[in-house]
Structure 1
Amino acid sequence: MSKIQQSFIREVPKDAQPRERLLNYGEKALATHELLAIILRTGTKEENVLQLASRFIQSFESLYELKQASIDELQKIKGIGPIKSLELKAAIELGARINASDLPKFGHITSTRSAGQRLLQEMSDLQQEHLIVLFLNTKNEVIKQKTIFMGTVNSSVAHPREIFKEAVKYPTARLIIAHNHPSGDTEPSSADLFFTKRMIACGELMGIEILDHLIIGQNEYLSLRESSKIFDE
């Protein structure tokens, strides 16, 4: 980048630069030309990147017309060379593919038993304690399964915020929590019960139902919903 280009970029206050604004306020707070400026990265000798991006957008009647533009048509716009035109076409196509994509599903939970059998198969031989969460939609389809925590055999540190932080990324309606006891004993500890109570309380505030907390042993599992009164309190 030339000194002239750098000087034009510095004309934009740091807190008004697109990357800074995206970091501070999120992508939805940015105008279309600001998002484009992040992709273009640099301006020209005559324009900083924001000015170039704004003029580029104005060259099209709509974003739909931009989407249909060929590489040759993009390069006819002053300041858009071969590399920038290729990068723009790649970004447009990637956006189109993402927009057309569906949220993947990873099976359907029909009962505590179906969840228990699924997680028992995956977790019974683990030598460390794992906390796994199944994120379910309104149809009880698994839209995400994630290991939230991996710890030592004798300790577990987990917090509801880590689970709900993940849950709000998806259209989560319900959760099933599971953790294993490497000893093979499925008897819940006082910490297990306390954590479950906290999860239920947080779920009520968030509008996300906690369906169950399963404790996975060597060849068996325990459902806290079925074996305790925590979920009825």
Structure 2
Amino acid sequence: MSIGTFPDLLIRDLHVDDRPRERLIKQGPQSLSNQELIAILLRTGTKRESVLSLANRVLIYFEKLHELKHATLEEIMSIKGIGQAKAVQLLAAIELGRRLSQKQVESRFTIRSPKDAASFLMPEMASLQQEHFVALYLNVKNQVIHKQTIFIGSLNSSIVHPREIFKEAVKRSAASIICAHNHPSGNAAPSPEDIEVTKRLQEAGFIIGIELIDHIIIGDHQYYSLKEQGYI
């Protein structure tokens, strides 16, 4: 029986082997649906609604699981049946998942190509709802030794100061850098401003002796490498 087909079922109405917690223990978390995983986090429903039904409404409210990544405490609590305690449990699980995912990516990741850089950045940057300008600092083996968000907001050549980016590169003894920013629109094509910023950073890096390897633009599961396209 598919639990997702009967969201109003109470946990006690299910056969013991069909209950989310028991299935997780016996079959592993990968065997559970998104609804069942959320139900485990919520733990209980309300007097009038099962935890499975409540979990289903959470998914409906956010339309897709990915949008939970940006949920605020207030948004989650606006769902009928979810108080502060349940909302906090969900937010804690979401944040833990985000940190674990990023930590796996960040452990001395080696960048050998624009695709590698995009793979490193995309899990975090593709879903951002504001533009973030980020710098990756690499050692002589092209391993990422540090990542730093330089600023948040629309890209403007007057805002992106080479001194801020290269000051950190000198501090970290970086051999080279890769810059990146996202386009919340999803279209990764560069604007004239993007190209101008890239040229300014390349010139500054040449003077300082720290090479700008690439400038990556992250869109909706796509990327644009200014190096690949001949701008660097």
TM (norm. structure 2) is 0.51
The equivalent of 2:148 in structure 1 is 146
How far, CA to CA, are the matches of 1:105 and 1:202 in structure 2?
A: 28
Secondary structure of the equivalent of 1:230?
Answer: coil
**Does the 8 A contact of 1:106 with 1:144 survive in 2?**
no
The residue number in structure 1 matching 2:231 is 230
CA distance in 2, matches of 1:167, 1:109: 17
Alignment partners' CA distance in 2, 1:198 and 1:215: 16
Letter in 2 for 1:182: P
Query: One-letter code of the match for 2:170?
Result: V
Structure 1 residue ranges (4+ consecutive) displaced by more than 6 angstroms after TM superposition = none
Q: 173, 178, 184: which is aligned to 2:175?
A: 173
Q: Give distance in 2, aligned partners of 1:187 and 1:159.
A: 22
Q: Identity over the aligned pairs, expressed in percent?
A: 49
Shift of 1:107: 1.8
Match for 1:126: what amino acid?
L
How far, CA to CA, are the matches of 2:111 and 2:197 in structure 1? 23
Residue type of the partner of 2:214? D
Secondary structure of 1:172's aligned partner: coil
Give the superposition deviation at 1:105. 6.0
The answer (yes or no) to whether the contact 2:188–2:222 under 8 Å persists in 1 is yes
Supply the distance in 2 between the matched residues of 1:214 and 1:121 (Cα, whole angstroms). Answer: 14
Give SS of 2:167's match. Answer: helix
The higher radius of gyration belongs to 1
Unaligned 5+ residue runs, structure 2?
1-105
Give the equivalent residue in structure 2 for 1:133.
Answer: 135
TM-score normalised over the length of structure 1: 0.51
Deviations 1:124-144 (A, max 9, x none): 000010001110011111111
Q: Secondary structure at the match of 2:115?
A: helix
Q: Which runs of 5+ in 1 are unaligned?
A: 1-103
Give the Cα separation in 1 of the matches to 2:132 and 2:224: 15
Structure 2 CA distance for aligned equivalents of residues 143 and 155 of structure 1: 25
Paired positions, count: 125
